[in-house]
Amino acid sequence: MMKKLLLALLLIPFLNLVNAQEEIVKWTFPTGQLGDTVQNGTNPLNLTRVISIDGTDPITMTNGQASGDYAATATGWDDGFDTKYWLVKFKTTGYGHVKISSKQRAGGTNGGPRDFKLQYRLSSTGAWNDIPNSEVILGNEWTTGVVDNLDLPAECQNQSTTVNIRWVMTTNTDVNGGTVAATGVSKIDEIVVTGNPITGIDETAGTKELYTYPNPSAAAFSVSVPWGTTGIEIFNSNGQMVLSALPDKGCVKIEKALPAGLYFVIATMNDKAAFVKHIIK
């Protein structure tokens, strides 16, 4: 078993290098015109996707992060707790390990909503689901309210059904600690969704890579395994195996409570350690 752990330590830098992300869809609002609500990436999977808003005033384009840059902007966020949000839609067909990034700002001269979180659903109606570790606290600048390569849940991977992602208000508190007014300003920019292309013998039963999400994890986490995987084993940093499991349709959900620390997940194929990943609890 110790040999497998040593293999894990050796392979982690290599796997992180080769598992390069490709752009799936993005909104960076390059021209400052309302046409920028249409995404400006080049991936043919999502060429006509638009950003929208719910419950607020219409989207406008205003100054972004630097001179000559622009951001999607809206007012009308008063009384918006759990009902007002930014929204994007896209497909992830052929992609695993899908991640999302964004930047938000509250303010200008009129303090906008401070607190948001990201949620997802795979239908146009029904309940929204929280994305783990997605809570965002905004400032009157672009460096605080940042989501950086956040892992999307398993249901959002390799998805031919439209994935809906929203940034929803979680309080009615404005950036100055008061109550959000109708004039409060919210801005969003640099929305980028990326993923690893899936290729292999059976793309419906896994991917070419092993990945864990969410990572870091505070509780349960999932492991998406490569095609051909016969089992997974999880080791702690002392080289002790703490759990083994069999994959079901390319995924393993780990619900056992593990102590905080660094763990190594090994996907095996015919008793050979073929893929390695680390996870932080």
What does the pLDDT read at residue 280? 64
More confident of the two residues 181 and 281: 181
What is the amino acid identity at position 128? W
How many C-beta atoms lie closer than 10 Å to residue 44's C-beta? 6
CB 159 within 8 A of CB 91: yes
What does the pLDDT read at residue 212? 78
What is the amino acid identity at position 140? N
Interior/surface letters 252-270, b for 16+ CB within 10 angstroms, e for the rest: bebeeebeeeebbbbbbee
Sign of the alpha-carbon dihedral angle for 94, 217, 88, 249:
positive
Per-residue CA distances from 107 to 190, 237, 279 (Å): 17, 45, 36
Percent of the chain residues past pLDDT 70, beyond the cut: 84
Identify which of 264, 229, 259 has the alpha carbon closest to the alpha carbon of residue 2.
264
Q: What is the DSSP string of 249-277?
A: TTEEEE-S---SSEEEEEEEETTEEEEEE
**Residue 34 phi, psi dihedral angles, 5° rounding:** -65, -20
Tokens of 110: 């009129």
Summarize pLDDT for 74-126 with one digit per residue, the tens.
999 999 999 999 999 999 998 888 999 999 999 867 889 999 999 999 988 88
Q: 188: pLDDT confidence band, cut at 50, 70 and 90?
A: very high
Rounded to whole angstroms, the Cα distance separating 7 from 258 reads 22
Could you give the count of Cα atoms lying within 13 Å of 3 in the half-sphere of its Cβ? 4
Asked whether residue 66 carries a pLDDT value surpassing 90, the answer given is no
What does the pLDDT read at residue 265? 84
Sign of the alpha-carbon dihedral angle for 34, 40, 44, 50:
negative
What does the pLDDT read at residue 67? 84
Asked whether residue 271 carries a pLDDT value surpassing 80, the answer given is no
Asked whether residue 2 carries a pLDDT value surpassing 70, the answer given is no
Asked whether residue 59 carries a pLDDT value surpassing 70, the answer given is yes
For the entire predicted model, the pTM comes to 0.70
CB 103 within 8 A of CB 26: no
Helix (H) or strand (E) holding 36: none
Asked whether residue 262 carries a pLDDT value surpassing 80, the answer given is yes
What does the pLDDT read at residue 221? 80
